[in-house]
């Protein structure tokens, strides 16, 4: 009888363990998804800025604009003058207050990498400094003279 009790107890134990295995589910699956984005260089500049009236010999006050880093890497920015109505635009100067004042074709600055989903900005001062202008004489008014400045951004990481 003792032998039968041990066999019955053993069989009941196995049944109990089997029931635990089939009745208790303690696992589940989590699927993880992500968009993996490579390095992206992207900036935004204003469409236009009006520097007002300028004259030969003038050092006008600074005007301010902002360049936004909308990419996901630190960027190095340079500028180049294109499509200019007059050579006075060669005297366009930029100042970031942390770097030396530079003329348009010699300007460079960096903007740090933004946080994820954010933008990083840099304030830039601009003017056309004609204090030492020695180009073609300005003999008459040139209203609404324009030039385009292209800002080039490169990965600076």
Helices (H) and strands (E) in the chain, counts: 1, 8
20 belongs to a structural domain: no
Are 85 and 94 within 8 A, CB to CB?
no
Number of domains in the chain: 1
Q: Average pLDDT, stretch 123-134?
A: 93
81 belongs to a structural domain: yes
122 belongs to a structural domain: yes
Q: What residues make up the domain containing 123? A: 43-134+145-155
Are 66 and 46 within 8 A, CB to CB?
yes
36 belongs to a structural domain: no
65 belongs to a structural domain: yes
78 belongs to a structural domain: yes
Res. 1: pLDDT tops 70: no
Using DSSP, state whether 97 is helix, strand or coil.
coil
pLDDT score recorded for residue 22 = 67
Strand partners, 43: 69
* Structure-block tokens of residue 155: 């990965």
Are 96 and 125 within 8 A, CB to CB?
yes
pLDDT score recorded for residue 61 = 93
* Structure-block tokens of residue 9: 């107890």
56 belongs to a structural domain: yes
Q: How confident is the model at residue 137 (pLDDT cuts 50, 70, 90)?
A: confident
Quote the percentage of the chain above a pLDDT of 90. Answer: 62
Q: How confident is the model at residue 43 (pLDDT cuts 50, 70, 90)?
A: very high
The domain that contains 72 carries what CATH number?
Answer: 2.60.40.1090
Q: Average pLDDT, stretch 50-59?
A: 90
Are 112 and 35 within 8 A, CB to CB?
no
Are 84 and 145 within 8 A, CB to CB?
no
1 belongs to a structural domain: no
Distance CA 95, CA 101 (A): 5
């Amino acid at each position: 009888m003792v032998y039968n009790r041990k066999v019955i107890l053993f069989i009941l134990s196995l049944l109990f363990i089997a029931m635990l295995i089939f009745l208790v589910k303690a696992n589940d699956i989590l699927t993880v998804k992500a968009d993996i984005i490579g390095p992206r260089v992207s900036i935004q500049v204003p469409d236009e800025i009006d520097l007002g009236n300028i004259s030969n010999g003038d050092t006008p006050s600074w005007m301010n604009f902002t360049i936004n880093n909308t990419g996901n890497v630190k960027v190095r920015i340079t500028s180049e003058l294109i499509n200019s109505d007059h050579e006075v635009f060669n005297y366009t100067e930029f100042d970031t207050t942390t770097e030396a004042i530079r003329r348009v074709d010699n300007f460079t600055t960096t903007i740090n990498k933004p946080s994820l989903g954010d933008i990083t900005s840099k304030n830039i001062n601009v003017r056309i400094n004609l204090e030492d202008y020695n180009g073609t004489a300005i003999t008459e008014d040139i209203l609404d003279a324009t030039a385009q400045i292209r800002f080039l951004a490169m990965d600076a990481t």
